[in-house]
């Protein structure tokens, strides 16, 4: 007898709603099926080619030293850290992967704020084409931003999260501006009596904080959605089509990806992209090797060099960041500031793309971590990645 949805997942499909889809246990399914809850736009691969997971039992059974009680092996740690999918590349070769019982190698998983880093890659390609100039004011591209916080900041301020913005990234607050933001993206249900906003119209209401732009690092997801609005405005193209044409197809992605969109099709570039773990690892490998693949320069080498070597450490420290004590932030990517030159993209609920050039290692972790942030677990994961990067494969 064929198993039911409830047999497979422990809850009925009707139990998953816009009000609870980002909470456990529903997130174990919804993070791999966001298209069933929110409108989306496809990011098409040239020729989708479904993949098969490799047997990694020896790797998963490897004993590791962690500060996590009871996590004696790789598998123990991955289970402890709510892992859905995990991939390790060494010098471009898939050497290990893992998928939880509720996950799949071909599942297109929500990568949350790693979407910011993907969007910045598209921006970097357009910059090299002369379509975008990071030193221009946002109002050069979006005159209607004049009355908002973005009225006097540069595109570079937005890229590096140094916009003076009066906004709190309060993931668990159901009433404030962040809840309005999520309603505008169609990620939350409508509030009775509340005004209906599109994503772009919401962005234009955000006020400036008291200090000047270009100061401390201040993480704010609306910045990255604004990048998507600018990209679509200056190109006259849909972001999903641009990502397919400029990155996804030339890179040789094996599966289509997609991005969630609002009521008028504006992409959620700050957190709405969904892709397989292996295709995300391919993005990391593309950057690690200088941006070329299949005989074509896809991501400009100069942009990669800028992203991996620049970024203001003092601005990072002034932003009161305890993560990455030597770190920097540049073009929507995190730099470790360590001797290994590691850099990464991070999303809430445990999404990671970690690149260690010193060992030619790329690691992807997709997760359904119940706590969206969990800074203590984040530090455990960093240490775990360094352990994996040092392994012989």
The residues annotated with a catalytic role in the active site are 113
Distance CA 132, CA 120 (A): 12
Beta strand 343-347 pairing with 93-99? unpaired
Distance CA 24, CA 226 (A): 30
Helices (H), 269-327: 277-288, 301-309, 313-318
Distance CA 335, CA 358 (A): 14
Spell out the residues 6+ positions from residue 175 whose beta carbon is closer than 8 angstroms to its own: none
Cα 389 from chain centre: 21
Q: Which residues pair with 43 in a beta bridge?
A: 257
Sequence-ordered strand ranges (E) for 21-149: 40-43, 83-90, 93-99, 109-110
Distance CA 47, CA 56 (A): 27
Cβ–Cβ under 8 Å, residues 165 and 220:
yes
In degrees rounded to 5, what are phi and psi of residue 353? -130, 110
Count CB atoms within 10 A of the CB of residue 360: 16
Choose among 382, 338, 392: nearest CA to 361: 392
Spell out the residues 6+ positions from residue 376 whose beta carbon is closer than 8 angstroms to its own: none
Structure tokens at 243: 């990502």
Structure tokens at 299: 């991501």
DSSP state letter for 275:
E
Distance CA 27, CA 92 (A): 31
């Amino acid at each position: 007898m064929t198993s039911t949805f409830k047999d497979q997942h422990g809850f009925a499909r009707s139990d998953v709603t816009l009000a609870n889809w980002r909470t456990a246990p529903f997130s174990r399914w919804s993070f791999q099926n966001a298209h069933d809850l929110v409108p989306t736009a496809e990011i098409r691969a040239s020729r989708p080619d479904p993949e098969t997971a490799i047997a990694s039992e020896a790797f998963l059974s490897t004993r590791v030293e962690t500060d996590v009680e009871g996590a004696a092996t790789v598998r123990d740690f991955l289970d402890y850290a709510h892992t859905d999918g995990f991939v390790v590349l060494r010098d471009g070769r898939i050497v290990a992967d893992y998928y939880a019982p509720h996950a799949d190698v071909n599942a297109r998983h929500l990568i949350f704020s790693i979407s910011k880093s993907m969007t910045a890659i598209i921006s970097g390609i357009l910059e090299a084409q002369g379509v975008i100039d990071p030193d221009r004011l946002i109002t050069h591209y979006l005159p209607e931003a004049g009355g908002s916080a973005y009225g006097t900041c540069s595109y570079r301020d937005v890229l590096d999260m140094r916009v003076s913005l009066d906004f709190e990234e309060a993931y668990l607050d159901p009433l404030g501006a962040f809840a309005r933001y999520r309603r505008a993206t169609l990620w939350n249900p409508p509030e009775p009596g509340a005004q209906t906003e599109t994503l772009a119209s919401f962005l234009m209401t955000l006020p400036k904080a008291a200090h000047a732009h270009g100061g401390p690092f201040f993480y704010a997801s609306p910045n990255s959605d604004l990048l998507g609005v600018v990209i679509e405005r200056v190109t006259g193209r849909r972001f999903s089509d641009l990502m397919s044409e400029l990155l996804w197809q030339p890179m040789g992605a094996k599966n289509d990806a997609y991005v969630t969109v609002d009521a008028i099709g504006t992409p959620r570039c700050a957190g709405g992209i969904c892709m397989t773990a292996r295709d995300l690892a391919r993005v990391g490998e593309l950057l690690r090797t200088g941006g070329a693949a299949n005989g074509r320069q896809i991501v400009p080498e100069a942009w990669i060099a800028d992203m991996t070597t620049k970024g203001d450490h003092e601005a990072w420290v002034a932003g009161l960041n305890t993560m990455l004590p030597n770190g920097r932030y540049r073009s929507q990517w995190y730099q470790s500031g360590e001797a290994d030159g590691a850099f990464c993209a991070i999303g809430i609920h445990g999404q990671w793309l970690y690149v260690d050039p010193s060992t030619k290692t790329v690691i992807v972790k997709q997760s359904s971590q119940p706590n969206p942030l969990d800074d203590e677990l984040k530090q455990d994961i960093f240490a775990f990645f360094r352990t994996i990067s040092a392994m012989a494969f």
